[in-house]
């Protein structure tokens, strides 16, 4: 089975769509299944429910050449397929770590069908370690001609098509070497190293990879926080570290924390799995805690200059959990806006892709048509996503539009040199550039605080005199 295999993909979410559409591009006959009939109808006409760079063109091409189709007809599609990829959601569950109800349902539906030929269930969804072994035993108990293969995905949103077509590794876990080889054959065009292993090790590779990347982020964020205290520059520190090949340059971008549908839930699930197995994974607790604290950093930095944030107008650039996607699930930018609103601030926000998704979860936010519109009359502007497009903005114009020239660059994107003279620029783990105008504002805050303390003391004294 090198190409031209009959493949079913259960779940037309982000992973299922990228998997199905890209396997069609490689010459396989792919049918993607989803219970949402509207979604299936839209996809059949070439309309994607998500934004993912490059996916739209491949979808259209493969619909036209009939390599790809979408359906809600489970039984016909599964019966006609040799390999059934499961790519449904596994959201967080407080007790089990991951909610497997959608995965269980997909497997139960396959088991309800009658077929004689050997089929493979290949798991793309991120499932807790041990799940594959459980399903392998279930298939055996039911005496079904079904083999289970764990085949985790390592796709990043925003570059998922490129990641799928140019993988760094393929991980295949199964007790059945024949089934493993058949799934490996589907990946032959890639010439990437293939790891053949047990289902549990394959599942652990996925969790350990995400947890390690998140650990790198929390580590560099702690270094950044320390840099803030000792006047060092985390960007230079990360660059210096990254030249050591044992460390490498990736995921050393300090900022206001990681978000997204994968890292937060997978790291929690791994911690939960450890706890359920009787092991306390100390490092992961710290990684999560550091990430939560990092989100509050912007508030502290704003208060340093503006004092109370009540009725202050704060512009936020970026709403998605990272640039190049419209996905706002577990986005740090969204958490930040909630924190700002809790402090009483008025929020204006701009994002090139994610506004319609953000509108579903945010209330009382003014959505701006561009960064300039957001900056107009703002008391401060916060950069929340590491979008390189922010670097190309006309910062002199932006600053000219603002009430107070205060910029909190939560992703260390800007350089002091590109900023006009009068700007105060606060970054993460980098020495701030404080302009006269804002330092005056800061002094005013200190003075006001000092005066109110004096008044408080005077009032206390008067109360004490009266009560004597
Ligand atoms: C992540 C992994 O990178 C993929 O390999 C994996 O397949 C995927 O999860 C998944 O499990 O499905 P993704 O969630 O798309 O991919 O996003 P990343 O590019 O990894 O970024 C995650 C978060 O980390 C973002 O909020 C980003 O802003 C943050 N980040 C990333 C930093 O704060 N600093 C960095 O240096 C890099």
Same domain, 274 and 310: no
Q: 153 CB under 6 A from ligand 1?
A: yes
CA of residue 39 to ligand 1 center, whole Å: 26
Residue 50 DSSP code: S
Block residue for tokens 């001609």: 145
Q: Answer whether 256's CB lies under 8 Å from 332's CB.
A: yes
Distance from chain centroid for Cα 174: 29
One domain for residues 49 and 177: yes
14 lines ligand 1 (CB under 6 A): no
Quick one: pLDDT at residue 446?
67
Shortest-distance atom of ligand 1 to CA 210: 2
Distance of CA 340 to the CA centre of its chain: 21
Same domain, 54 and 143: yes
Output the pLDDT for position 1: 41
**Dist. CA 258 → ligand 1 center (Å):** 7
Output the six-digit token pair for 59. 């979808």
Please work out, in degrees rounded to the nearest 5, the angle formed at the alpha carbon of residue 94 by the alpha carbons of 91 and 99: 35
Q: Break the chain down into helix, strand, coil percent, rounded to 5.
A: 50, 15, 40
Which atom of ligand 1 approaches the CA of 154 most closely? 7
Please report the pLDDT score of residue 438 as a whole number: 67
Asked if residue 450 is part of any domain, the answer here is no
Residues making up the chain, counted from first to last: 468
Q: Cα of 326 to ligand 1 centre, how many Å?
A: 14
Taking only the tens of pLDDT, the chain with its 468 residues reads 445 899 999 999 999 999 999 999 999 999 999 999 999 999 999 999 999 999 999 999 999 999 999 999 999 999 999 999 999 999 988 777 889 999 999 999 999 999 989 999 999 999 999 999 999 999 999 988 999 999 999 999 999 999 999 999 999 999 999 999 999 999 999 989 999 999 999 999 999 999 999 999 999 999 999 999 999 999 999 999 999 999 999 999 999 999 999 999 999 999 999 999 999 999 999 999 999 999 999 999 999 999 999 999 999 999 999 999 999 999 999 999 999 999 999 999 999 999 999 999 999 999 999 999 999 999 999 999 999 999 999 999 999 999 999 999 999 999 988 899 889 999 999 999 888 766 666 666 766 777 777 777 777 776 777 666
- Asked whether residue 126 is domain-assigned, the answer is yes
- pLDDT at residue 223, as a whole number: 98
- Tokens 């031209």, residue located: 4
Q: Using the mean position of ligand 1's atoms as its centre, give its distance from the Cα of residue 274 in Å.
A: 22
Mark whether 153 and 271 lie in a shared domain. Answer: no
Say yes or no: CB of residue 335 within 6 Å of ligand 1.
Answer: no
Q: What is the pTM of this model?
A: 0.92
Q: What is d(CA 298, CA 295) in angstroms, rounded to the nearest whole number?
A: 7
Kindly report the protein residue whose alpha carbon is nearest to atom 11 of ligand 1: 262
Domain endpoint, select from 294, 317, 347: 294
Claim to verify: residue 30 and residue 125 sit in the same structural domain: yes
Distance 251 CA to ligand 1 centre (A): 8
Domain match, 154 and 210 both: no
- State the pLDDT at residue 297: 96
Are the C-beta atoms of residues 119 and 106 closer than 8 Å to each other? no
The last residue of a domain, from among 147, 170, 197: 197
Instruction: Name the residue with the closest Cα to ligand 1, atom 33.
Output: 258
In three-state secondary structure terms, 116 is coil
Residue where one domain finishes, among candidates 176, 197, 218 = 197
Q: Is the CB of 411 under 6 A from ligand 1?
A: no
Instruction: Establish if 467 belongs to a structural domain.
Output: no
Residue-range definition of the domain harbouring residue 354: 297-444
Q: Which residues contact 427 (CB under 8 A, 6 or more apart)?
A: 408, 409, 412, 414
Nearest CA to ligand 1 atom 17: 156
Residues 169 and 181 in one domain: yes
* In 138-283, beta strands by DSSP E: 146-150, 170-173, 194-197
What integer pLDDT is reported at residue 116 of this predicted model? 85
Cα of 262 vs centre of ligand 1, distance in Å, is: 8
144 pocket-lining for ligand 1 (C-beta < 6 Å): no
Question: In this structure, which long-range contacts are made by residues 38-42, counting pairs with CB atoms below 8 Å and at least 24 apart in sequence?
Answer: 39/12, 40/12, 40/70, 40/71, 40/72
Within-domain flag for 16: yes
Residue 459 included in any domain? no
What does residue 334 show for φ and ψ, rounded to 5 degrees?
-70, -45
For tokens 């890639």, the residue is 190
For ligand 1, atom 13: residue with the closest CA: 156
In a shared domain, residues 306 and 285:
no
CATH number for the domain that contains residue 252: 1.10.1040.10
Atom 29 of ligand 1, residue of closest alpha carbon: 258
- Cα separation, 110 vs 9, in Å, equals 12
Q: Which residues pair with 31 in a beta bridge?
A: 8, 69
For the beta sheet containing 29-33, the strands, ordered from the edge strand earlier in sequence to the opposite edge, are 68-71, 29-33, 6-10, 83-86, 119-123, 146-150, 170-173, 194-197
Q: Which of 155, 163, 223, 328 to mutate to test the pocket of ligand 1 (most atoms within 8 A of CB)?
A: 155
What is the atom index within ligand 1 of the atom nearest the CA of 251? 36
* Residue at 452 is within a domain: no
SS3 92: strand
Q: Is residue 1 part of a domain?
A: no
Number of domains within the chain: 3
Looking at the structure, tell me whether residues 189 and 286 fall in a common domain: no
Q: Are residues 222 and 183 in the same domain?
A: no
Is 219 found in the same domain as 193?
no
Active site residues: 262
Is 41:65 a contact under the CB 8 Å cutoff? Answer: no
Task: State whether 119 and 168 are in the same domain.
Answer: yes
CATH code: domain of residue 31? 3.40.50.720
- Asked, for residue 451, whether it belongs to a domain, the answer is no
Helix/strand/coil for 420: coil
């Amino acid at each position: 089975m090198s190409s031209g295999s009959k493949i079913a993909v259960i779940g037309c979410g982000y992973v299922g769509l990228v998997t199905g559409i890209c396997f069609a591009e490689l010459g396989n006959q792919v049918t993607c299944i989803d219970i949402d009939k509207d979604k299936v109808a839209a996809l059949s006409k070439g309309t994607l429910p998500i934004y993912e760079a490059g996916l739209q063109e491949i979808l259209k091409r493969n619909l036209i050449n009939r390599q790809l189709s979408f359906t809600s007809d489970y039984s016909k599609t599964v019966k006609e397929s040799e390999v059934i990829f499961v790519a449904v959601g596994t959201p967080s569950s407080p007790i089990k770590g991951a909610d497997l109800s959608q995965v269980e349902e997909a497997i139960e539906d396959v088991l309800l069908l009658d077929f004689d030929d050997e089929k493979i269930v290949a798991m793309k969804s991120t499932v807790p370690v041990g799940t594959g072994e459980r399903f392998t035993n279930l298939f055996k108990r039911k005496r079904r001609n079904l083999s289970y293969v764990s085949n985790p995905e390592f796709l990043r949103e925003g570059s998922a098509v490129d990641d799928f077509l140019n993988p760094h590794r393929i991980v295949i876990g199964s007790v059945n070497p024949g089934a493993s080889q058949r799934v490996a054959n589907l990946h032959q065009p890639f010439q990437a190293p293939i790891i053949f292993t047990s289902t549990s090790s394959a599942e652990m590779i996925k969790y350990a990879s995400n947890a390690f990347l998140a650990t790198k982020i929390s580590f560099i964020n702690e270094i950044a926080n320390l840099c803030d205290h000792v006047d060092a520059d985390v960007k230079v520190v990360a660059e210096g570290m990254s030249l050591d090949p044992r460390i490498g340059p990736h995921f050393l971008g300090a900022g206001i924390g990681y978000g997204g549908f994968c890292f937060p839930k997978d790291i929690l699930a791994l911690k939960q799995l450890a706890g359920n197995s009787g092991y306390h994974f100390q490092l992961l607790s710290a990684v999560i805690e550091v990430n939560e604290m990092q989100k509050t950093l912007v508030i502290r930095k704003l208060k340093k200059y503006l004092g109370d944030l009540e009725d202050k107008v704060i512009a936020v650039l970026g709403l998605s959990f990272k640039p190049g996607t419209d996905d706002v699930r577990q986005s740090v930018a969204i958490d930040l806006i909630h924190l700002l609103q809790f402090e009483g601030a008025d929020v204006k926000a701009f994002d090139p892709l994610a506004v319609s998704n953000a509108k579903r979860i945010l209330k009382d936010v003014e959505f701006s048509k561009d960064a300039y519109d957001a900056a107009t009359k703002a008391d401060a502007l916060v950069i929340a996503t590491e979008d390189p497009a922010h670097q190309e903005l006309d910062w002199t114009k932006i600053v000219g539009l603002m009430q107070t020239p205060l910029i909190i660059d939560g992703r260390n994107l800007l350089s002091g040199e590109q900023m006009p003279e009068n700007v105060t620029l606060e970054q993460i783990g980098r020495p701030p550039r404080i302009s006269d105008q804002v330092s005056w504002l800061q002094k005013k805050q200190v003075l006001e605080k000092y005066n109110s303390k004096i008044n408080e003391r005077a009032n206390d004294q008067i109360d004490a005199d009266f009560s004597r």
